[in-house]
Amino acid sequence: MKIALGQFAVTPNWEENLAYVLNLIRASEAGGSDLLLLPEGILARDINDPDITAKSAQPLDGPFVKALCDATRAGSITVMGCIAVPNGTGRFDNTLIVVRGGALIAVYRKLHLYDAFTSKESDKMTPGDTLPPIVEVAGFKVGLMTCYDVRFPELARRLVLDGAEILVLPAAWVRGLGKEAHWETLVTARALENTCYMVAVGECGERNIGSSMVVDPLGVAVVKAGEAPVLVFCEVTHERIAHARKVLPVLENRRFGRPCLKSEVGAG
């Protein structure tokens, strides 16, 4: 499968961001990609306006998602990225959308809200309460995660035990002391400990680090972007996953069970 990583700097204007994303879709299709992964928070961002995300939130049947559906209607590319979706409570959900063939085929509401360092996402966002879906793309099973989720290894492990061969991570990783090292370490660890591909796309610009990357099942960074807007491509193979799981059978050797959400404990 060929994957495109669409790293860009989100502006305060959702129409401008939509136009940029539509160009990325066209370029990714021209490059033969099966999947285009975009960053987190692609509707709007303004370092000088902390309320921009809430003010720009759109429903899943709003103009942004409709335009993405229209852009994918004639082709086979799958597009993933995160938008803010109002939930009727005066708050919003950080929602990873999956669009293909002119339709919204899957969504994931971010489980782990970024209440860390100097941020508190839970002031305006509502956390998800269900596990991410696993989506099939070009014969691969793809598990969904979002940004801060990468700091919680049990989510990645659960998705892989449920069949995911690739984990995707749209992000808006904030700059800060040691934060670039955290990003690279965590993305690499989730790939290596689960012998899966990790595809992580970060928003770049004034506030966030960019540094999009693909790490293979043996912890090798096969693609890594810098701090500027860029569209990069990467090939992933079933053979590499099979090789990693043969020489490093951590999934077979594990002594702990299948992680579950707190809400699942005692269910069934």
Which residue numbers are catalytic?
A: 40, 110, 147
Residue pair 168/199 in contact by the 8 Å Cβ criterion: yes
φ, ψ (nearest 5 deg) of residue 127: -70, 150
Residue pair 35/142 in contact by the 8 Å Cβ criterion: yes
Q: Which of 17, 1, 96 is nearest to 64 (CA)?
A: 17
Residue pair 41/53 in contact by the 8 Å Cβ criterion: yes
Q: What is the distance between the alpha carbons of residues 191 and 220, in angstroms, rounded to a whole number?
A: 9
- How is residue 197 written in tokens? 């591909």
- How is residue 82 written in tokens? 């995160």
- How is residue 19 written in tokens? 């136009």
Q: How many CB atoms lie within 10 A of CB 14?
A: 21
